[in-house]
Structure 1
């Protein structure tokens, strides 16, 4: 049913998205799907990497480490934006077509009142694409 699963990755906060990574591993094994890890970075030096090339190497290393966990084929896609935070949603929506994803699995937060003013990234991605989007909430407790 699914052949390529896209997973937006924030290399600065891997520990927070562990439930998402576990979900992706299960889905990839179940559907015998490739997992494409997508990262958005700036051209300016940042917390994770000094250059987009260094960021791409770190994203690839991360993908290979996840391959060791779930055994499915992996790929990466690095997006470079002047302001990654302001352009994140649009960049992720464009990446779906760029990588040929037929499922997006991404972390999300529990609904809040602020969502009316500032919707979640997952909510925006889900409403602006025709592929399935699976949102993974953090574990309670």
Structure 2
């Protein structure tokens, strides 16, 4: 069993957690903590962000926190074992940064089925986390 399991999810994409969440529960056992992580993507270019309303990223992070809390309440009866976190930036980097900050000893995350063209052009977030993590990573399909 693991003491602190980090479960990065996309709150808008149920497939990012429906199978991974039960795996995280099993890995945490009866005493481990589960840390849900939602990530707000960094807009990046100033030109793009100039078209967004003022305070967009702050509002997006607040909304993410609310959605994570809703999922935690809905999916866990033992809410004291679940903590929610909102990351910001590039997805793999945010996952690794939060894992380090909370002292996670396992990352559980969903991985989309391989698609050579998509992986070549964009790359898989799970692949990047697996290759750069200092702790075990369980990918779930």
Does TM, scored on the shorter chain, surpass 0.5? yes
Q: What TM-score results when the alignment is normalised by the length of structure 2?
A: 0.76
Q: Which runs of 5+ in 1 are unaligned?
A: 82-86
Indicate which of 125, 131, 139 corresponds to 2:129: 125
Given that 1:28 and 1:72 are in contact with CA atoms closer than 8 Å, whether structure 2 keeps it comes out as no
Where has structure 1 moved over 4 Å in runs of 4 or more? none
Given that 1:4 and 1:102 are in contact with CA atoms closer than 8 Å, whether structure 2 keeps it comes out as yes
Indicate which of 36, 44, 57 corresponds to 2:66: 57
Cα deviation code 1:39-86 (max 9, x no counterpart): 1125627xxx95422321221222232221x777010111134xxxxx
Q: What TM-score results when the alignment is normalised by the length of structure 1?
A: 0.76
Indicate which of 78, 90, 95 corresponds to 1:92: 95
CA distance in 2, matches of 1:57, 1:71: 15
What SS is found at the alignment partner of 1:90? helix
User: 2:86: which partner in 1?
Assistant: 78
Which one has the largest radius of gyration?
2
User: 2:109: which partner in 1?
Assistant: 106
User: 2:40: which partner in 1?
Assistant: 41
CA distance in 2, matches of 1:89, 1:75: 20
Given that 1:5 and 1:35 are in contact with CA atoms closer than 8 Å, whether structure 2 keeps it comes out as yes
Aligned residues: 127
Cα deviation code 1:95-138 (max 9, x no counterpart): 1101211100000022232334433111110111110000001x
